[in-house]
């Protein structure tokens, strides 16, 4: 551990902080004052409070280790100096206006949230009490489960097709006048499959005649052709559709926590009134800094695609089956139960996802730094033969 945060260090630190204070803070750098209270990672290489443990290949959480962009880091540093103050409305409105401009909607139609998870939780709390949430059997269900645990939602899961696609016709058929909302994820997690834009938009437009449809587009910036795949055009046509997006994936800011929704202005007002947190000024600043940083976005995507090709090449060489992913993760069958492969990988200091529901043969690996992806690719043939 690089952190020395013990009772003793805290007590002696308090004393030294006083001494530092008396000596005059002007000559003390922020790092030195953090070190004086025992909170600073004295050896940053071995620090593990933030980010993966040294030596661990973290390939289980669909993060993007190429972020944050330097354009985001500069804004974090500048805004942190104003951290004594609550986030100004103007900052949030500036980010909303940037997002609105790119998508061709009014700023009132955009809600900034603390990660898209907050937005999806708010939506589950708004629509869950009205009736069941209808969703594919496999989707990113954390927020629907959150509302379900509070007794505020029931989830109706519709089986995937034989090809592990979302069964859009089945979901449509399951909608009744009692349905609270439909929740879709495109591309889907954990399958990684992207439903083509024309297909999903036609289905969602039909569903939205009957109920509210939420489309979680957390990974959409990673697909081959984002513009053709998004459901935002349906919102512009006045359909009852809400799209959620995040800065956690392509922007590489999972720990910084910014997401947003696009919907009608009326729905946006309802979402705003249901949020539980104020997004930190540093997070808003970071998002403003990198939202239009195309150099960083292209770089990030190229690295993720390169990692994905390394993984699929390895799977091809081993003759293993996998789903065609347009995201930063691949869902594949190794021949071992997912939890066994996860355990074997963990013994090699590689973290991948374990089993989802009863999908025993299916494992999910996320793209990380290319060195880490390579470690996974080298370990896999050995571990499946062991």
Ligand X SMILES: Cc1ncc(COP(=O)(O)O)c(C=O)c1O
Binding site for ligand X (CB under 6 A): 62, 115-117, 140, 185, 189, 216, 218, 246, 248, 254, 259
Quote the least distance from Cβ 167 to ligand X, whole Å: 18
Quote the least distance from Cβ 190 to ligand X, whole Å: 8
CA distances from 231 to 10, 116, 203 (A): 52, 16, 10
Quote the least distance from Cβ 180 to ligand X, whole Å: 19
Tokens of 155: 């989830």
Q: What angle do CA 327, 340, 328 make, to 5 degrees?
A: 10
- Upstream peptide bond of 68 is cis (omega within 30 degrees of 0): yes
User: For 155, phi and psi rounded to 5 degrees?
Assistant: -110, 130
Alpha-helical segments (H) within 213-293: 226-229, 232-236, 265-272, 281-290
Tokens of 230: 């998004």
Quote the least distance from Cβ 171 to ligand X, whole Å: 16
**Measured from the CB atom, is 117 or 131 closer to ligand X?**
117
**Measured from the CB atom, is 38 or 259 closer to ligand X?**
259
**Measured from the CB atom, is 244 or 314 closer to ligand X?**
244
**Measured from the CB atom, is 36 or 286 closer to ligand X?**
286
Which residues lie closer than 8 Å to 273 by C-beta, 6 or more apart? none
Contact present, 97 and 254 (Cβ < 8 Å): no
**Measured from the CB atom, is 135 or 345 closer to ligand X?**
135
Quote the least distance from Cβ 140 to ligand X, whole Å: 3
User: How far is Cα 191 from Cα 193, in angstroms, rounded to an integer?
Assistant: 5
Secondary structure class of 57 (helix, strand, coil): strand
**Measured from the CB atom, is 139 or 296 closer to ligand X?**
139
- Helical axes 294-318 vs 370-385, angle rounded to 10°: 10
Give CA torsion, residues 221, 138, 113, 204, to 10 deg: 70
Quote the least distance from Cβ 90 to ligand X, whole Å: 23
**Measured from the CB atom, is 141 or 314 closer to ligand X?**
141
Which residues lie closer than 8 Å to 200 by C-beta, 6 or more apart? 168, 184, 186, 215, 229, 231
Q: What is the DSSP letter of 196?
A: P
**Measured from the CB atom, is 125 or 185 closer to ligand X?**
185
Quote the least distance from Cβ 328 to ligand X, whole Å: 10
User: For 10, phi and psi rounded to 5 degrees?
Assistant: -65, -45
Quote the least distance from Cβ 228 to ligand X, whole Å: 19
């Amino acid at each position: 551990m690089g952190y020395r945060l013990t009772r003793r260090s805290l007590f002696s630190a308090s004393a030294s902080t006083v001494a530092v204070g008396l000596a005059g803070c002007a000559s003390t750098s922020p790092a030195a004052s953090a070190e004086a209270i025992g909170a600073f990672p004295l050896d940053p290489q071995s620090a593990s409070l933030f980010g993966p443990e040294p030596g661990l290949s973290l390939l289980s959480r669909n993060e993007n280790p190429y972020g944050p962009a330097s354009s985001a880091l500069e804004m974090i540093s500048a805004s942190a100096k104003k951290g004594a103050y609550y986030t100004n409305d103007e900052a949030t409105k500036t980010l909303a206006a940037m997002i609105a401009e790119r998508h061709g909607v009014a700023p009132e139609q955009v809600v900034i949230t603390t990660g898209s998870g907050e937005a999806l939780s708010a939506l589950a709390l708004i629509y869950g009490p009205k009736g069941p949430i209808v969703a594919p059997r496999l989707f990113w269900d954390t927020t629907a489960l959150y509302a379900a645990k509070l007794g505020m939602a029931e989830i109706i899961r519709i089986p995937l097709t034989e090809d592990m696609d979302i069964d859009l016709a089945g979901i449509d058929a399951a909608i009744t006048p009692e349905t609270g909302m439909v929740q879709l994820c495109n591309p889907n997690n954990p399958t990684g499959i992207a439903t083509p834009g024309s297909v999903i938009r036609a289905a969602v437009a039909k569903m939205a005649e009957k109920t509210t449809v939420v489309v979680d587009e957390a990974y959409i910036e990673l697909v081959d052709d984002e513009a053709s795949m998004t459901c935002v055009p349906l919102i512009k046509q006045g359909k009852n559709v809400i799209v959620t997006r995040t800065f956690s994936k392509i922007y590489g800011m999972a720990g910084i926590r910014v997401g947003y929704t696009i919907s009608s202005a009326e729905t946006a007002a309802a979402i705003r009134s249901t949020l539980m947190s104020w997004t930190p000024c540093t997070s808003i600043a970071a998002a403003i800094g990198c939202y239009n940083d195309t150099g960083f976005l292209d770089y990030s995507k190229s690295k993720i695609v390169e990692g994905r090709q390394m993984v699929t090449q390895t799977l091809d060489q081993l003759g293993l089956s996998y789903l065609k992913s347009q995201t930063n993760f691949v869902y594949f069958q190794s021949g071992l139960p997912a939890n066994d492969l996860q355990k074997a990988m963990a013994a090699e200091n590689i973290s991948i996802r374990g089993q989802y529901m009863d999908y025993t043969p299916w494992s999910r690996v996320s793209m990380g730094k290319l060195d880490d992806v390579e470690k996974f690719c080298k370990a896999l043939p050995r571990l499946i033969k062991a």
